Amino acid sequence: MLNPGSISMGSRGPLTLLVIATMLLPMLAGCTGLGGPPEPNARVEADRSTINAGESVNFDARASTSPESTIITAYRWDFGDGSKSETVQGYTSHTFSNAGLYEVSVTVVNDLDGDDTATTLLSVNGYPQISLSMPTAIRTGDIVTLDASSSSDPEDGELTTVWDLDWSEDSDNDGDATNDNDAMGAVHRFTPYESGNYSGSVTVTDESEASATRMWNLTVLPRTYQVIWEVKTVTYDWDGYLEQEHIHTITHQPGEEGRIMSFNATLTLAMDILPIMLPQDNFTLTVDVPDDSWTHTVRTEQGNITHNASASMEYLNLNPFSEDAHNLTADSLEELIEMLDAQSGAGFGEGDWLWIIDAEESDPDFLVDEVDPDGGNEWELVVEITFLVPRISEVGV
């Protein structure tokens, strides 16, 4: 066996010294630490390479190996976001809260303190940031603009915008009234015609299916109107000719002019050819308001042969009178008018009015060669109706 102490360095050549060094190195390694402990071979992989912020990722380093006669005793994890951990098994999970590109590493250590490090890259996608511009209060009939066009994506990707326009209604019938797709697009406009509080939401989704949702509230106020009542009188005039036992009916809707307060009507017949002959012509006049189940009939009379036969009727206070100016709120002008009509039973006469003229008695007149020269009579109907008409102006616009 070679004795190192017996070797004379000065009596040997370069080749001899190289052989001696080769023989000494293995013996010196265990004493001086030259070459270090045997190292493991680290391996790591993630179950996903891309996630959305707030999601968890599983990391697996169980494919790592260590030289024969050594065992792996620890896995030291560095997740690249400031978080670290150590496990005895080569498997762990971690949640990434913030968007970014992370280098995740594991250092595998064996029982001889040998170590090796492996890394993997993970992309964490950020959630869109919603920027919503809209009014907080409007009046009925105004246009509402919901604008989410300034919303942004941390990765500068394309965004999809979905609007749920009414959280009180489940439009897709899935049991959840807060996830409906009522409209799409970064900007949506609509016009509410009913007052009240409206609530909905906007959802913005990026290309990686990461989405953010924001609720919105809108107060829709009714409109305010000033109502001043004015008196208006309208005269209607009809005429015609009726033969014996014939009937003529006139249909009209005077309630379109305003609130009906009173009316008078007069039916006048033309004088007979020979006024002294009897009987004189006489008609009946009937007014019928079917919607209110109201009717009245009068019959013409000739009190003096020098005057035409006529019949008249007059009615007052058909609806309550209102003369004070006051303010009222309503969702629309049409609704206001309906409210005014409905006040205190003020809707009498809003429907059709029927004026029925019946030629009860217009024959015989004086016969000429056994022929009645006038088998009927000419008539004229004059109706005068007084209305209360609301003069309406909107205030607070």
Going along the chain from its start, the domains and CATH numbers come out as 1-36 (no CATH), 45-125 (2.60.40.10), 137-221 (2.60.40.10), 226-395 (2.60.120.380)
Cis peptide before 279 (omega within 30 of 0): yes
The reported pLDDT for the residue numbered 57 is: 98
The reported pLDDT for the residue numbered 304 is: 60
**Helix/strand/coil (H/E/C) assignment for every residue in the chain:** CCCHHHCCHHHCCHHHHHHHHHHHHHHHHHHHCCCCCCCCECCCEECCCEEECCCEEEEECCCCECCCCCCEEEEEEECCCCCEEEECCCEEEEECCCCEEEEEEEEEEECCCCEEEEEEEEEEECCCECCCECCCEEECCCCEEEECCCCECCCCCCCEEEEECCCCCCCCCCCCCCCCCCEECCEEEECCCCCEEEEEEEEEECCCCCEEEEEEEEEEECEEEEEEEEEEEEEEEEEEEEECCCEEEEEECHHHHCEEEEEEEEEEECCCCCCCCCCCCEEEEEEEEHHHCEEEEEECECCCCCCCCEEEEEECCCCCCCCCCEEEEECCHHHHHHHHHHHHHCCCCCCCEEEEEEEEECCCCCCECCECCCCEEEEEEEEEEEEEEEEEEEECC
The reported pLDDT for the residue numbered 15 is: 40
In the chain, what percentage of residues exceed pLDDT 90?
72
Q: Which residues of 113-147 are buried (b: 16+ CB within 10 A; e: fewer)?
A: ebbbebebebebbbbbebebeeeeebbbeeebebe
Mean pLDDT calculated for residue range 119-131: 97
Has residue 376 got a pLDDT over 90?
no
Has residue 281 got a pLDDT over 90?
no
Mean pLDDT calculated for residue range 197-206: 97
Mean pLDDT calculated for residue range 388-396: 90
Structure-model confidence comparison of residues 270 and 204, the more confident one: 204
Distance of alpha carbon 120 from alpha carbon 58, whole angstroms: 12
Please, are residues 319 and 388 in contact by the beta-carbon 8 Å criterion? yes
Structure-model confidence comparison of residues 362 and 160, the more confident one: 160
The reported pLDDT for the residue numbered 305 is: 59
Distance of alpha carbon 362 from alpha carbon 379, whole angstroms: 11
Has residue 33 got a pLDDT over 60?
no
The reported pLDDT for the residue numbered 340 is: 81
The pLDDT-based confidence of 137 (bands split at 50, 70, 90) is: very high
Distance of alpha carbon 35 from alpha carbon 305, whole angstroms: 148
Q: Is the pTM of this model over 0.75?
A: no
The reported pLDDT for the residue numbered 377 is: 87
Q: What is the pLDDT of residues 114-123, one digit of tens each?
A: 999 999 999 9
The reported pLDDT for the residue numbered 271 is: 77
Cis peptide before 40 (omega within 30 of 0): no
The lowest-confidence range among 125-139, 231-245, 266-280 is 266-280
The reported pLDDT for the residue numbered 22 is: 38
Has residue 357 got a pLDDT over 50?
yes
CA distances from 396 to 23, 327, 330, 367 (A): 106, 11, 13, 74
Distance of alpha carbon 165 from alpha carbon 190, whole angstroms: 9
The reported pLDDT for the residue numbered 396 is: 79
Structure-model confidence comparison of residues 161 and 397, the more confident one: 161
The reported pLDDT for the residue numbered 30 is: 33
Mean pLDDT calculated for residue range 224-241: 95
Tell me how far apart the 2 most distant CA atoms of the chain are, in Å.
Answer: 182
Mean pLDDT calculated for residue range 112-139: 97
In the chain, what percentage of residues exceed pLDDT 70?
84
The reported pLDDT for the residue numbered 24 is: 39
> What's the chain's average pLDDT?
87
Q: What is the pLDDT of residues 50-78, one digit of tens each?
A: 999 999 999 999 999 999 999 999 999 99
The pLDDT-based confidence of 317 (bands split at 50, 70, 90) is: very high
The pLDDT-based confidence of 342 (bands split at 50, 70, 90) is: confident
Q: Which of 14-23, 32-41, 338-347 has the highest mean pLDDT?
A: 338-347
Q: What is the pLDDT of residues 81-116, one digit of tens each?
A: 999 999 999 999 999 999 999 999 999 999 999 999
